[in-house]
Structure 1
Amino acid sequence: MIMKLIIKLLLNALAVVALSKLLSGVNVDTYTTAIIVAVVLSILNVLVKPILIVLTLPITILTLGLFLLIVNAIIIILADKLIDGFTVNGIWTAALFSILLSVLQSILHSLLKDEKRTKNQ
């Protein structure tokens, strides 16, 4: 279980580094910073995101869930403020980073699951 968590965090850090190379508005200084970003984003998603979702529920319902993109961007900007060496230029860059990070994480985690399926067969 711990090994699975470490592998997921490393895959998330890899996704953060890849997106920092792809997006001009996102900068990660070192690979260690990318790992810290992955850990902090995980913690923020567990602790802060549910509170933000509850607080913004009326506007989320009015926008048919699209406001959750802004909530995700706020989480990214909060990580930017907490971590030296990780910068995001603006809320729209953070929203795009959040969307691409989710897609890339899904792809990487599905590769991890496919690898386990082939080992079990």
Structure 2
Amino acid sequence: MNLILRIIVNALALAAAVWFLPGMEIAGSDAFAASLGDTGSTVVAYLVIGALFGVVNALVRPLVELVALPLTCLTLGLFAVVINALMLLLTAWASQFTPITLSFDGFLTALFAAIIVAIVSAVLGWVMPDRRAERSRED
């Protein structure tokens, strides 16, 4: 259940970034849109990109953070925003191999998208109940 909530939070955060930034777009192929309808294809597109973003964050991000640790310490943590932007750009590159694509018009757009995604994810994570805390209270 936690995985599904994480995908939904990622999808909502990416949707907020797409809504705020004109240089960011999530689009599906015409055949994909025709098979699900307009609203259905949009929802599925955001969920797929949210899942892909989660996979990129789970597999690649720890290694990148480890390699960039000295730079992150030197910048007092501000380099983490650049790492988030790089993860979004990696997600956009990986989405080229799927029927649903994420695209940016430049690194600056990805940087602002990373800030928006981080803020929305933090707010949604704060609002949503923590399942681990509920399970520990039951024990």
What interval of TM-score do these two structures reach, taking the shorter chain for normalisation? 0.7 to 0.9
2:120 is matched with which residue: 77, 94, 104?
Answer: 104
- Looking at structure 2, the residues matched to 87 and 81 of structure 1 have their Cα atoms a distance apart, in angstroms, of 8
Q: Mark the structure with the bigger radius of gyration.
A: 2
- Looking at structure 2, the residues matched to 112 and 53 of structure 1 have their Cα atoms a distance apart, in angstroms, of 26
The answer to whether 1:26 aligns with 2:42 is no
Query: Identical aligned pairs, as a percentage?
Result: 29
Deviation string, structure 1 residues 41-83 (Cα, Å, up to 9, x no partner): 1111111111111112222222222111111111000001111
Alignment RMSD: 2.2
- Shift of the 109–62 alpha-carbon distance from structure 1 to 2, 3 Å rule, reads closer
Question: TM-score of the superposition, structure 1-length normalised?
Answer: 0.81
**Structure 1 ranges of 4+ moved more than 4 A:** none
1:87 is matched with which residue: 88, 98, 103?
Answer: 103
The answer to whether 1:61 aligns with 2:73 is yes
Deviation string, structure 1 residues 20-40 (Cα, Å, up to 9, x no partner): 121111101233221111111
Query: Gaps spanning 5+ residues in structure 1: where?
Result: none
Question: How many residues in Structure 1 have an aligned counterpart in Structure 2?
Answer: 115
1:46 is matched with which residue: 55, 58, 63?
Answer: 58
The answer to whether 1:35 aligns with 2:33 is no
Query: Gaps spanning 5+ residues in structure 2: where?
Result: 28-41, 135-139
What residue number does 2:7 align with?
9
Larger relative contact order (CA 8 Å, sep ≥ 6): 2
Maintained 8 Å contact 2:71/2:79: yes
